[in-house]
A and B are shown apart, each in its own frame.
Chain A
Amino acid sequence: MSTSATATINETPRLMKSTGQGLFNFAAGLSILFALWWIGIELISRSSTTAYFASFGPVPTLRAMAMLWHGGLIQSAVWASGYRLGTGLLIAIAIGVPIGILMGRIQIFRELSNSPFQLMRMISPLSWEPIAVIVFAGWNEAIIFLIAIAAVWPVMFATAAGLAKVDPNWFKVARNLGASRRHVLTQIIVPAITFDVLTGIRLALGVAWIVLVPAEFFGVTSGLGYTIEDAREGLNYDQLMAMVLVIGAIGYMLDSLFVQLIKRYSWHRQT
């Protein structure tokens, strides 16, 4: 008891130090970005014709963000897009991970599926748009489809790549030790590939954001992409940057979540 007490006493300053360090790094990194942003926009809006574009800068942006928040626009946009993004990503994971595992384990499947998948993953989601409009009755469903179809490939390939790096001997050993198919899946495959799958999902998140803005060109009335387009059309660049910041913040939080998951579940205790 006394040892655990001493251990805790020794741990606390270390914990505080590491949290403090984390916060410092977070703030320092962002401050540098902020500064670069400020300088950059200053330079751009020098000329008289481009003077208007000073509204890209950090100060107008923060002001616009306050205004948008008051108007409830940010909240409704996050809610609407969050739903679409979340559903699209979930579908992408639900499809991508199993297929990725199949690709990794069954050689015939991998060889057969390689060419069609390589073809399909290069199709820009915007090219899928007409199909999305025909097939899906609702706009939300069409958008979710576009996000899913863009996000499934990073997940799928990352999963397959992760599986490819698993030492085949492990499977032999597992089988020797009498592991059933399910055991092999849950005890070997899933933990081994978690790192890569989560990396794939991180990438899928990035891709999904890219797709969200043009995807919300359709007949929806709210959403982050929708609000960005509204700002873009009205040349309200401060509002545009405000929404960009919001997206950045959300993306950052989600990504941090994934990093924590990686730390927790992966065999590679890194990052």
Chain B
Amino acid sequence: MTKRQSGKPEDPRGESPLDYKKHGDGINDPKLVLDEKPLFGGVLGTELSRRTLLKVGALAAFSGAASLSSMRGWADKKFDPVVRIGYLPITDAAALLVAHEMGFLKKQGLDSERPTLVRGWSQIVEAFQAHKFNLVHLLNPIPVWMRYNNKFPVKITAWDHTNGSAIVVGAQTGIQSFKDFGGKQLAVPFWYSNHNIIAQMLLRDAGITPVIRPQDAKLGPKECNLLVLAPPDMPPALAAKKIDAYIVAEPFNALGEIKAGAKMLRFTGDVWKGHPCCVVAMHEADVMDPARAAWTQGIHNAIVEAQLYMAENRKATAQLLSKDGKNYLPFPFEVIDRAMNFYDPAYYKNPLAIKHVEWHQSRINFQAWPYESATKVVTEELKKVVLTGDRAFMDKLSADFVAKDLVNYGFIRKSLQNNPKWRDDLSVPQTGDPYNRIEVIEV
């Protein structure tokens, strides 16, 4: 673990920015130090960055510009009291959308704008980094890259939902199980996603090796080729037999079933009980600054209440989010309803998409506690999965460190303690400590 070097010449104030007594929860945990050089953002941390500092210093001196003392990493994000939510048009965003739309944020005394629709993960990340949003949902691995590859001060503060994804196969592919994936083409929506992780877990379990090759490359009998497609392009690609299967968040599985003759192979929540997919992410400043604690707490209270509301009022939620309702998602009610609620084991028996009926999960669940064990699994898997991006930075990261450093547990814990009904979700341990569980992954 790298410790921050206090008293560096770059920090003119001389105090260590991460003073646990002042800014944290009072617990001195050496694992909570951040290997961040606040003055040099994402520069690769070489000698060159010092030279740049000198240049900047010269510039500042000559132009008599604003004080260097305001350069303090996460603390530089100005407080914006209005909650600005950014979201992608998938059912995963439901918790944040409902928190605003049903007035749960207002109930907490918080002012919020109607959530802003953005169409791509990159766009939402960039807008978040440019401080245009202060509350977003992101695919679980994305904050890992943001915090450790790009050194951006972000924190995961809760889970936005669990489950909510599935693998569908083309009608004429004849695929009945993962053993049949040899020589096939499987599309994922994003390399840095739990979809990719789960898909590869399932393939490896069936003895198939995931590879990334050109479309016309020869595949061994036990190799499955992976590629990335935008979710709206997946149903056409499946129908045109360009891909044999795809794994994606709802409602694109539902759409595939309805419009492209796709057959449901397996629900991801039936493989990994209550797995994370999208997480709630906020700026580190909003999370660590004690002056904003009440505001952040209010947000999490609203999220939990929204989730509990949705668990009881699924159909009403589907109606609210759809084109026929408040038009948050560009889909009609039937599609969202199917995507959220249709989880009938009798219907999905060939192939058997729901094997663990006793888990009592749904097509999508709204459970917010970010289990450490799950974060550890995700981190470990991210080191193993096949993908094309830059991953070298992960070599230095241990799963324990990420679970403690990337995720903030304080606010969501308090919100959950005030709303004991969250434990009704059966992916939460029903006996003993509900805040710690062992991940159940059974293919």
Contact = CB atoms under 8 A, between A and B. Distances in A.
B330 A234 contact: yes
Nearest to A240: B232
B53 to A, nearest CB: 21
B333 to A, nearest CB: 12
B290 interface: no
B182 interface: no
A262 B122 CA distance: 41
Nearest to B330: A230
B126 A49 contact: no
A129 interface: yes
A63 interface: no
A130 B116 CA distance: 17
A129 B120 CA distance: 12
Contacts of A267: none
A234 B118 CA distance: 15
Nearest to B172: A49
A233 B86 contact: no
A133 B239 contact: no
B171 interface: yes
Chain A contact-residue range equals: 20 to 34
A215 B171 CA distance: 35
Contacts of A133: 123, 126-127, 130, 132
Contacts, number: 66
Interface in B305-364: 323, 330-332, 335
A219 B330 contact: no
B330 A218 contact: no
B3 interface: no
A53 B127 contact: no
B255 A134 contact: no
B389 to A, nearest CB: 16
Interface in B31-86: 86
A219 B323 CA distance: 17
B126 A234 contact: no
B212 interface: no
A50 interface: yes
Contacts of A141: none
Contacts of B238: 49
Given A49-B171, A234-B331, A235-B255, A217 B261 contact: no
Contacts of B261: 48-49
Interface in A214-271: 217-219, 221, 229-235
Interface string B130-151: 1010000000000000000000
Nearest to B241: A49
Nearest to B262: A49
Contacts of A232: 232
Contacts of B236: 53, 235
Contacts of B235: 235
A217 B126 contact: no
A50 B240 contact: yes
Nearest to B117: A219
Given A50-B239, A217-B118, A218-B118, 4 more contacts: A50-B240, A219-B116, A234-B330, A234-B331
5 contacts: A49-B240, A217-B123, A230-B330, A233-B89, A235-B232
Interface of B: 86, 89, 116-120, 122-123, 126-127, 129-130, 132, 170-172, 231-232, 235-236, 238-241, 255, 259-261, 323, 330-332, 335
Q: What 3 A-B pairs are tightest by C-beta distance, nearest first? A: A219-B116, A217-B119, A230-B330
